[in-house]
Amino acid sequence: MATSRVLVVAERADGLPPHEAARAVADGWARQAPHVRVEAHATHSGGAGFADVVARTLGATVQPVVVPGPLGEEVPAGVALVDGPGGTTAYLDTAQVCGRHLVDEESLRDPSGMTSAGVGRLLTLARGTGAGRIVVGVGPLACHDGGAGMLAELGAGEDLADLAAVREEWAGTQLVLATTTEMPLLGFSGPSALLSEMYGVPREVTQALETRMGELSDHVNRLLPPAKDLLTGTARRPERERGAGAGGGAGYALQLLGARTDMGAHLLLDELGIRGRLPASLLVLVTDSYDEDAVWEGVVVETARAALEAATPTVVLARDAVVGRREGMALGVSGAYTLREGEDLAALAARVARTWTPAPPTGGVL
C-alpha cells in the first residue's frame, strides 16, 4: 500500500513505558522505510502512569505533593499542570495515591479499611493551583470504599451528611473522570466481583464489600435523591452509571461531584492530538497483549475505532496476540504481528514495515 505517514501509537509494551515503546517502534520502522514519515505517540488507558504520559507529551509542569495513602501513610504524588487557551488543566493519577503497588499482597486480600481520602486531598491541592479543569485518571486501586474516604476528606463528613454542600462547592470546577473501565458500582460486573475474578480475593470478603457498597449507595440516594430520566421518567441511579465502579468506587464519588466520564484512551485521542493525525496515515498500534481485554476496552479498541471512522488502516504490534482475524477486522485491524524469540520492538517494526510500507519501485519519495 502507499502511505505518506505512519502513525505509531503505543501504550506500555514489552517492558517499556509508552513513550519508549512508541520511540522504539518508530525508529525501527523509519530505518526500514526511510521514504515515509513516521511519528511516535504515547498514550494511556487512564490507570497507573496516566499523568506521566500526559505531562511528557504536553510538556506539563509537575507540582510535587504529599497526600495520605490507602493505609493513611503519607505518599508522594504529583499534579501535572498544562496551560491552554481555556485556562489551566490539572491531570491527576490516582494510582500514585491509592495504587495497588502501595500495599502488600496479603493486605490486598481484604481491602476493608483502606481509604480513598488521599484522592480527595489530591483534588483539593489541584484546585488550589488555580486549575479550572481537573482530569482524574482512575484504574485499579487498593482502596475499595466507594469513594467515601475521598468525599469525607473533601468535607462531606464521615456520614456524608454534608455531601450536597460539597457537590455545590465543586460545581465551579470542571471535573473529568478518565476511567479504564465502564463497570458500574454494584453487581456481577462491578468492582467487588472483579476482586475475586481478577485478584483471587476470598468470596466472603467480596460479598461483604458488595454489601457495604450497596448500603453506601442507598445512603447517598437518600441524601441526594436521584434525578429522573427525561425520557423514561425513572430515577437515574448513580451507582449504575458507567465508570462508577472504577478504582473501587472512586469513579462513583467523582461522578457524585459532577464529573463528566470518558474512557481514558478515548479522552487522550483528543487531549494529545492523536485523532487529528489519523486521516491519510497508517496506524500502528503497539500494546503488550492483544487479547480479549484489549478489544473490549482500552487503548487498542478506542484508537482502532477512531481510525476506522477516519478510514485509516490499522495494524497491531504486540508481545503476544490471541485475537482472531475476524474479531480484529470488525475493529478495522488489518493485521496483528507478535515478537519472535530474541526480537525486540524495533526489529518487529522493521519486519512489518517491509510489508506495509515497501520502498516505491522508482526509489522516489511517496
For the chain, give every residue range classified as CATH 3.40.50.10350.
Answer: 5-43+281-356
Low-confidence ranges of the chain (pLDDT < 70): 1-3, 362-366
Cα–Cα distance between 68 and 250 in angstroms, integer?
15
| Residues 245-276: tens digit of each pLDDT | 999 999 999 999 999 999 999 999 999 999 99
Cα–Cα distance between 27 and 297 in angstroms, integer?
28
The pTM assigned to this predicted structure is: 0.94
What is the predicted pLDDT for the residue at 307? Answer: 97
Element counts in the chain: helices (H) and strands (E)? 14, 11
For residue 366, the tally of other CB atoms under 10 A from its CB is 13
For the chain, give every residue range classified as CATH 3.90.1510.10.
Answer: 50-266
Q: Are 65 and 125 in contact (CB under 8 A)?
A: yes
Q: Are 62 and 93 in contact (CB under 8 A)?
A: no
Cα–Cα distance between 67 and 55 in angstroms, integer?
20
- CATH number 3.40.50.11540 given to 5-43+281-356: no
What is the predicted pLDDT for the residue at 3? Answer: 66
User: Do β-strands 314-321 and 282-290 pair in parallel, antiparallel, or remain unpaired?
Assistant: parallel
50-266 topology per CATH = Glycerate kinase, domain 2 (3.90.1510)
Show the CA angle centred on residue 273, arms to residues 283 and 178, nearest 5°: 100
Task: Report residue 272: phi and psi, to 5°.
Answer: -100, 5
Longest distance between any two alpha carbons in the chain, whole Å: 74
